[in-house]
Structure 1
């Protein structure tokens, strides 16, 4: 599925790099584990090989998808979701692991932040979503600093 050295995105954790694939015995069961170094938190995560697909881990987005993501970020329509539902909707989007969804969450919360203030949980969600988005953008091969600045 993935190889050592691959850059990946782990939903709700951001981008990281597969540093190793190790065999470990935990609770009497031996399994293969992916050892991932997360760039945002600077922590190491171990995920069993058989849980990789269900965890929504995916490769870092390719540069050719960047134009669409920038367009969504700059020109996309914000979701009009009532305040009570907004946090859940945005959290669910981030959990998908899709960069387009993360860009939408950052865009929408950034727009709300400019007009009003975000509540405490939304501020934290915005900060985390923004860090996760930037962490992935920094790993896209061929991206320029100007392209990353669009998302700030």
Structure 2
């Protein structure tokens, strides 16, 4: 399955690693082209998830169109305060692909949950939520955890 992970912070990188190890084709999108190039070169996100190696099958990009193209699922893993801006860019390439929201919290100005922000920007899209008491570094290293 081809999965796009939008957000190359610690949690997004950890999810990309786990999903790739399960045999999925992963494209990891990051907003910072300089950090994306470092991740590509080093096969590790030293800025946000040091010590966790990215499988060779993970493609890393800062090009949203490349990231979203042909994705069967999109995991949205960006801080809620930046979600609206990221979704504005994402919207141009999104084609009714189901979105799995992996962000926690409320948008400061509107007090909307992340799923509310997603629906406000993308409309009536299928949204699931992945959340739970886990730490990116442990998930990335394969430590058992529980999320729902």
TM-score normalised according to structure 1 size: 0.31
Structure whose residues are more often helix by fraction: 1
TM-score normalised according to structure 2 size: 0.31
Structure exhibiting the larger radius of gyration computed from Cα positions: 1
